[in-house]
Amino acid sequence: MTASIIHCHPEIYSGAPVFVGTSVPLAALFDYLKAGESIESFLDDFPSVTKNSAIGALEIAERLTAEQAYSAR
C-alpha cells in the first residue's frame, strides 16, 4: 500500500517522500495539519493529490506510530 501512495527518488526533492505521481512532499500534508488547516484545504491547494492518497498517508503514519510505540515496550 505504501508504494502506491508514497514515493522517494533522489532526483525529486532530494529523496524526500512525495505523493506518487506528483512532486508534492508528504511533509506538506503534515505542515497543513499542524497549522490547523483541513485536509480539504490541502487538497484544494495541491489538486494533484487525491483524497484517498492523503488519507492513506495518514493511515500509514498512524500504523508506523503504533508499531513504534509497540516495539518500544
Domains: count for the chain: 1
> What pLDDT, in 10s, does the model give residues 22-57?
999 999 999 999 999 999 999 999 999 999 999 999
- Higher-pLDDT residue of 63 and 35 is 35
What is d(CA 2, CA 10) in angstroms, rounded to the nearest whole number?
18
CATH code of the domain containing 61: 1.10.10.10
- Position 13 pLDDT exceeds 80: yes
Contact 9, 15 (CB under 8 A): yes
Please state, as a whole number, how many other Cβ atoms lie within 10 Å of the Cβ of residue 14: 9
Q: To the nearest whole percent, how much of the chain has pLDDT over 90?
A: 73
| Helix, strand, or coil (residue 4) | helix
Please give the Cα distance from 30 to 46 (Å, whole number). Answer: 13
pTM score, whole prediction: 0.84
For residue 72, pLDDT beyond 70: no
Domain range for 41 is: 2-71
